Structures are given as C-alpha cells and as structure tokens.
Copies of this chain bind each other. A is one copy, B any other.
Amino acid sequence: MKRCLLLILSAVLGVTVMVSKDRGSLYGQRASLFELLPVDSTDIVFLGNSITHYCEWHELLGMPNVKNRGISGDVVDGFFERLDPVVKGHPKKIFVMGGINDISHNLEADSVATLMASLLDHIIENSPTTEIYLQSALPINNDFNRYKNIIGKDDVVVAYNKLLEQLAAERGITFINLYPLFVNEEGKLDPLYTNDGLHLLGNAYIKWRDVILPYVNQ
C-alpha cells in the first residue's frame, strides 16, 4: 500500500522511477539471470546499481558465498522489483547501495529515501533473519562533466545520506557511511578514485572492502 502511494505520488509529481526497469534492456538480462541463480541462507548479497555491478565482490572479499546483484543504471524501485529471488533465499546479509540514479532522474532526497525505506521494510518483513547493511551514496564529481544529469546535485546526495542514516537508525540496522572515504576537500568524489566522476577505479573498491570487511565477517 505504501508502495502504491509512492508510485501514485511519483506520477503526480511527474517524475518517473521506472527508467531503468525496461525488461528489454540490461535490466531484463540481469534480472532474468538472477531469477535462475539461487540464493540461500549462507549467502551475502550485494544489491545495487552500476557501482555494485562493476565490482567482483566474491573475489574482492575472498568469499564464494558473496553474490553480486548489481545492475548498471538501476534505481531503487528497480531493486524492489527484483527483490523476490533474493529475499526468498533468506540470505545471511544484504549490503545495499542505491539512489544515485534516482537522483539523476531528478528525484529529491526525501523521495529517494522514501523508496529506500520501502525497500528496507520489504526485506525486513519478508526475510527477518537477514542482516541489512545500508551503505551511503558516494560523492560525485562533476568536474569530469560526463554525466549531465548529476550536475549540481552534490547537496542532494548529502541530504539523502542524512536521511539514510535516520532510516537505518529507526530500523536498528547498520548504516555504513562510505561518503567520507571518497570525498575530497572540495566536497567532490576524489579524482584518485574515479575516471568519470561517478564510477570507481579499482583502488576505491579496495578501500571500500577494508571498511566493510568487519561487517561481512561479523
């Protein structure tokens, strides 16, 4: 019901949260694969967009039971739509990162956070044994001038992360703030860690791993 209201609200506001969920695209390819790859109660799932998709998490963490459920371009509502094959396996842990594509589609911080809240509640309700780790969005760097739809949205990311921290606290789940790891003095994604202002180089994934490893092993 809450989700229905969200969708109606999205329609009224004239924004779309459906952009990446085209089953005729990469979303459909990956989602159809994920429907066929089993998840079980020993698994650790990384759910997200391109930033999750482009890593090799089981290698990075040295754990065979780590499963990549990232899809490049995906939005939070897209995660929701493909959640069933994940939650029905009742994985041990889910690490979630998302929202930057929603922000690039002109959603405000509170709208994206509301979508994320709905996602978290769905996981909690359908797989109460799963430990959820909510990861912040990362800073962006528009000096690269690569992704026009995130220009000027640095503050939306900051506001969104504050809301995520609240969501996590309200639900008693762990919030992992990755933002400070990658931000430079100008408040931008440090060019040490990116080649396009949005996505990460290998060294950033190593840094990310070092922060989450205690939570993975917990």
Name A residues whose Cβ lies closer than 8 Å to a Cβ of B. Answer: 23-26, 28-30, 32-37, 54-56, 58-60, 63-64, 67-68, 195-196, 199-203, 205-206
Contact = CB atoms under 8 A, between A and B. Distances in A.
Copies of this protein chain in the complex: 2
A29 to B, nearest CB: 5
Contacts of A33: 54-56, 201-202, 205
A95 to B, nearest CB: 16
A32 B206 CA distance: 11
Contacts of A203: 32, 36
A195 B60 contact: no
B37 A195 contact: no
Contacts of A24: 195-196
A54 B71 CA distance: 9
A59 B32 contact: no
8 contacts: A24-B195, A28-B195, A29-B200, A32-B201, A33-B54, A37-B56, A37-B202, A64-B64
